[in-house]
Homo-oligomer: A and B are copies of this chain.
Amino acid sequence: MSRSDRERRASAEHSDDLKPGPRDERGVLAARILAVARDAFAANGYQGTSIRAIARGADVDPGLVYHYYGDKEALLAACLQVPPAMRDRIREAWQTPAGALGTALVTVTMANWSDPDASAFLRAMVLTAAHHADTRDLLRGLIQNQLMGPATIGTDADDAQRRASLIASQLLGFAMARYVWGVEPLASMTDDEVIAAVGPTIQRYVDGRLD
């Protein structure tokens, strides 16, 4: 169950019951701390982020942040856990027959960046990775093992890695341009227009000639 599912359930229980136990409140506060922390790491980098500032942003005592997440390194690790809904969507997309993977991977990218939980994670990941070596390692591992891991593309493992890195370069660049930087008209194209424009690029990286 994802953190946001947990929060939704907690608030559903709350409205049913009106006497939330500590477990419910913990879920709400933990989710709020995590959301603030993701924004902070993305905006200010690892060095520029303090537990104190995160606590202030989440309107909780710094001691509670330490209590829930441990130190700053552990908190960053919690921020960079792939949301389960996102991982499931990607896994499912990779079940698509190879000839339709271009469309499927563009579609799942748009679904993830339109999901608040997944997009907060993705934004924190790509921005923190830009100036934090450990997060960069994590991002590389994520691309190779989780985002592209289920892939059975290419003629061998090296070819699969090459294709996966090219797919990642277009999908991440597309997502940054559309969702982070807001480059027009990419930012306001319909999903169908995006699929028609970017899908064939991904399809060629899946099974086209690259040399």
Contacts and interface: CB of A to CB of B under 8 A. Distances in A.
How many chain A residues sit at the interface, stated as a range, is 35 or more
Interface string A181-211: 1111110010001001110110011000011
List the number of copies, as a whole number.
Answer: 2
A149 interface: no
A180 to B, nearest CB: 5
Contact of A197 (B130, B172, B196, B211): B211
Contacts of A145: none
A211 to B, nearest CB: 5
Interface stretch (A39-47, A69-77, A81-89): A39-47
B127 A131 contact: yes
Contacts of A165: 177, 183-186
Contact of A48 (B48, B176, B180): B48
A163 to B, nearest CB: 9
Interface centre among A43, A136, A177, A211 (most CB of B within 10 A): A177
A180 B184 CA distance: 24
